[in-house]
Structure 1
Amino acid sequence: MASEEEREFDDLLVLLKETRGFDFTGYKRNTLIRRIARRMETLKLRDYGEYRDLLELEPEEFTRLFDSLLINVTGFFRDTSAWQRLRELVVPALLDQKPTGRPIRVWSAGCATGEEVYTMAMVLAEEMGIDQFRDRVKIYGTDLDDKALQVARTGVYADRTLTDVPIDLRETYFEPLDNGHSFRRDLRRQLIFGRNDLTRDAPISRVDLLLARNTLMYFNTEMQLNIVRRFHFALSDPGFLFLGKAEMLLNHSDKFVPVDLRMRLFRKVRPAHHDDRAPWPVTGTADDLAARPPTLVSVALAAGPVAQIVVDAAGNLALANAKAESLFNLNPRDVGRPFQDLEVSYRPVELRSVIEQARHDLGPVELREVIWHRAGLPERGVFDVSVVPMLASGTLVGVGIHFCDVTRYRTLRTELELANGQLEQAYEQLQSLNEELETTNEELQSTNEELETTNEELQSTNEELETMNEELQSANDELQHINDALTARTIQLDEVNTFVSSVVRSLGDAVVVLDEELRVAVWSSGAEELWGVRADEAMGQALGGLDIGLPLDPLVPRLRAALTDGSDPLQAVDGLVLDAVNRRGRPAPLTVHLSHLRTEDGAVHGLIMVMNVLTS
């Protein structure tokens, strides 16, 4: 559309919103343009400005426009296979998740004239039983079209509309009327119809099943996203969504997961919940720990996995745990001896200077990865040594020495260093491969984006085609009604033609109807038989131009006089006998009778000429 056309089109949408409260800005623009263009073509209007002026002058055109924009194409058990899957997969799950006696709520959004609402009622009543249906079920049908909702509320449908309803269901749930069938009154009370604009009105909440079949496809992408969010809010947890065959929910996997994607059945995604974790129990206080007996402390020290030695302030061995005794060949008799006299003071590492440093600095001294080749053992040991001054009330009372065996970790580190060298070589190869993979990944990403774009375009095209299909179906219904009317009119016309033919045959041997120019308008079968000229040859020809055995010289002036002065045509030919010749060339004297052919207001616009052959 040109910019001026777009502005006029937008002005038209604003007029609809401001004067009638219908906001079509969230609908697909191409569909609106196509439907409005159809109305303009019917009215023979050239542009949107002219159509806007017409709407302001003739308010009744709003109704016809809304009937065109709000395409109410629906039917009972529409897409039978989809309804069958709904009955097999969704309805049993829906009933199982509801405790006995709890209400079941269903919402049909965009219900049009209500056929799918009544279809849903029959499906649930068949599964639950009629009594349970009456006690537990509420079905809400909403639409934007008040005229369609009025049809839905009455629940009366023509026989042709019910052709897709199985005979047993038709007999169970519908009552015959003179003009069609009516849905059962006792079950009709469970169905509630009302107006709802999906683009701005609040959704019906706490519903267990939501039907929106071929409704989303009329909206643009942004509005579809908003409506799907409303649907997600409206559904209970879990709840089910039943869409039309053109609607996929490809970009809403965080809100709905497919139950049967081909049949467009979806289930609401449960919100994630995190279980609360109880805090770790505390079974003791600081006072409890301080009150524990000294024996427990000494046993814990002795059984520790790290070799520990304590040297008192005088430089004597004060304590060695079991691990230290085993590692350095110490025994209880060594307690009290000067530490410098023991082998552990200089092997595996010189500790005497380190102890002095710790005493002097009053801080810990760390020695990392001290290697010790112990006699009689094939493998060397590696230790981390910590020398820590021990203070009591700020006074140095001794020095603690801890030997942590890190042999295993040193071995692992060495192996890791060797492996790391190999990994560095492999890394270079992987780096090269990674660059190739990154290039490939970028190409795949680009391809994926193109595929996603193509998929969205295909989805949009599919929705557009489905919209056009419904428009064609709506037009087909209109044409069917017109065809039925034309068929009835044709039957009436045939009956009239038969009657007229019978009258014409009864008037005389030959009947000819002439217009104001004396051209043949009707040429009876008697005239064909008398003159040998077929009706298709005579129709539209001037009477004087026909090659027949009728003497026209005395007749034509009388005919013109009867048309011109409007006198009694019988007087114009009174007593006139013409010596005619029939198609076989034999004499056929005949009399002529004339009468005027008049319009409804009495004006003469032709003559009826009846000719009877005189018998000898």
Structure 2
Amino acid sequence: MRRPSGPSPHADPGYTALKARIIARTGHHYYADKDDLLFDRLRRRFKACNVADAAAYDARLDDGAGEWAALEAEITIGETFFFRYAEQFAALRETILPGLVAARGTERTLRVWSAGCSTGAEPYSVAILLHQLLGPALPDWRVSVVGTDISIAALATARAAEFGRWALRTLPVEERVRYFHRVPASPGATREGGYALRPEFRRMVRFERQNLMSLLDGSMPEGFDGFDLILCRNVLIYFSAETVAGIVRALGRRLRPGGWLLIGHAEPHPAFAGWLEAVNLPGTVAYRRPPESAPAPQPETRGEPPPSSPLVEASSFEFRPAADMLLEASGASAVAEIVRPAPAAKAAAPIDPASAVVMTPDLTAEDVALAVRRGGGTPVVVLLTDGRANVDRTGTPGRPRAAEDARAAALRFRAAGYAAILIDTAPRPQDSARALAEAMGARYLPLPQADARKLSAAVRAAGEAA
């Protein structure tokens, strides 16, 4: 895997100490083995601060919280959109929230925390669900929805409650009209015109700047407890295993008895069942703090898992376009596809709620790769594309801007250090697909008119040659 262009971080004598300081403060263990990616983002701050090297920038961080906030915004990956992970929102709509409303019906209070909320799509999505669920009874309830994030810039966007098309990409037109009103074009995500959340949903949510590491060092302010629902999704994958265990245990303690915790599809771990009850819901796994009258969950005694075959017969898999973009790229059909179990395979292999990585249409290739890497494996991502992206990240049709977004995502993917194979599915090999593979540092494999069996054989051969 070739490194991105630019100086090596290890040529800067102060880099190692600066990196250790950043990871200790933010908990972003994600960067532990991604020196080139981290240094590329650091160099942007060097330039902005007019400093020459890591040592000078390290000293600049001592000047106050302002530069820390700018750095945290730079290194934080903030991909989010409304009603992300359809299976989890179906569980919220059909099981979790109705159960909480029934259980809290006498006191009529609900407290929700979206931890690592980024630009606010997640807590606002929950507010919309609660507004629908409670209906005319909403004024009789004390509903608190709080979103927290480490990034000041992300929180500013969340408070403004104006979003581009990309953040609304899963919503039908009628729901966009129901929940939002159009706003004129402005720089950034709404450069093609945007959507402002309607006041009745916006006023249900407040935002605060918090670092999840404060759960571990005792600096989390009073009042962050007694929650009925906590969402901490696609955040844990960026921390070390030890930090993840501490955070999940701390989040569990901040739930009321009978309260629920939702984490990302790639984030469950068997250890969590020692503190919370793992609940298998359609298409997802949720965790619940047992009611006060119920016994505390006990860790399951598990033997060594049976050895799994590294290759699966093609007939038991199907190829489907990912609904999410790899590293925030645009054009799902043109950038990222992943292999998912076919319906028959799903039925034959139920989810293990303690340890499953649940494959759903909202799970990104990066989510899966991170989960494999954290488990000690070496992920190889296979992308299927004809190389002709035609929709940019805002959801606006147009090949030139879509191609720019795709290339930018490919370069970020390459910097993250994942091995990849790009399969060109166009009837004739495309220069655009070959260029995208080069930008990613991926092996390019033209395979026109591919079916599942041909793809399986090609990936097998390419993987053995890698």
Aligning the two structures, in what range does the TM-score lie when normalised by the shorter sequence? 0.5 to 0.7
Residue 233 (1) aligns with residue 253 (2): yes
Question: 2: CA distance between counterparts of 1:461 and 1:161?
Answer: 21
8 Å Cα contact 1:111-1:117 kept in structure 2: yes
Residue 35 (1) aligns with residue 53 (2): no
Instruction: Give the letter for the 2:278 counterpart.
Output: P
Instruction: Give the letter for the 2:37 counterpart.
Output: R
Match among 202, 206, 214 for residue 220 of structure 2? 202
Partner SS, residue 234 of structure 2:
coil
Matches within 5 A, 1:48-59: 51-53=53-55, 55=57
8 Å Cα contact 1:137-1:190 kept in structure 2: yes
Partner of 1:529: none
Residue 245 (1) aligns with residue 152 (2): no
Residue 182 (1) aligns with residue 196 (2): yes
Match among 144, 149, 173 for residue 150 of structure 2? 144
Partner of 1:85: 91
**Pairwise CA distance, 1:209:** 0.7
Match among 67, 75, 81 for residue 69 of structure 1? 75
Greater C-alpha radius of gyration:
1
Matches within 5 A, 1:494-505: none
Instruction: Give the letter for the 1:27 counterpart.
Output: H
Deviations 1:1-59 (A, max 9, x none): xxx88995541045548xxxx703563443653531433688999xxx97414625887
**Pairwise CA distance, 1:97:** 0.9
Instruction: Give the letter for the 1:136 counterpart.
Output: R
Partner of 1:593: none
**Pairwise CA distance, 1:206:** 0.8
Partner SS, residue 25 of structure 2:
coil
Question: 1: CA distance between counterparts of 2:200 and 2:88?
Answer: 28
The structure that is helix-richer by fraction is 1
Question: 2: CA distance between counterparts of 1:197 and 1:153?
Answer: 18
Partner of 1:268: 289
Matches within 5 A, 1:469-480: none
Instruction: Give the letter for the 2:251 counterpart.
Output: F
**Pairwise CA distance, 1:154:** 0.9
% same residue: 25
Deviations 1:553-605 (A, max 9, x none): xxxxxxxxxxxxxxxxxxxxxxxxxxxxxxxxxxxxxxxxxxxxxxxxxxxxx
8 Å Cα contact 1:55-1:62 kept in structure 2: no
Deviations 1:93-132 (A, max 9, x none): 1111112451111100000000111111111111111551
Highest RCO, 1 vs 2 (Cα 8 Å, sep ≥ 6): 2
8 Å Cα contact 1:247-1:463 kept in structure 2: no
Match among 117, 137, 161 for residue 167 of structure 2? 161
Match among 211, 215, 221 for residue 231 of structure 2? 211
Deviation larger for 244-253 or 174-183? 174-183
Partner SS, residue 26 of structure 2:
coil
Question: 2: CA distance between counterparts of 1:151 and 1:130?
Answer: 30
Give the alignment's Cα RMSD to 1 decimal: 4.8
Deviation larger for 132-141 or 36-45? 36-45
Match among 96, 109, 116 for residue 103 of structure 1? 109
Instruction: Give the letter for the 2:268 counterpart.
Output: M
Q: TM-score, normalised by structure 1?
A: 0.42
Residue 117 (1) aligns with residue 120 (2): no
Question: 2: CA distance between counterparts of 1:68 and 1:242?
Answer: 26
Question: 1: CA distance between counterparts of 2:18 and 2:250?
Answer: 28
**Pairwise CA distance, 1:81:** 2.6
Partner of 1:564: none
Matches within 5 A, 1:553-568: none
**How many residue pairs get matched?**
304
Question: 2: CA distance between counterparts of 1:90 and 1:115?
Answer: 19
Partner of 2:415: none
Matches within 5 A, 1:296-335: none
8 Å Cα contact 1:134-1:190 kept in structure 2: no
CA distance 1:231–1:40, change in 2 (3 Å): closer
8 Å Cα contact 2:269-2:355 kept in structure 1: no
Match among 97, 100, 109 for residue 94 of structure 1? 100
Partner of 2:304: 448
Partner SS, residue 77 of structure 1:
coil
Partner SS, residue 251 of structure 1:
helix
Question: 1: CA distance between counterparts of 2:212 and 2:116?
Answer: 9
Question: 2: CA distance between counterparts of 1:466 and 1:124?
Answer: 36
Question: 2: CA distance between counterparts of 1:449 and 1:465?
Answer: 16
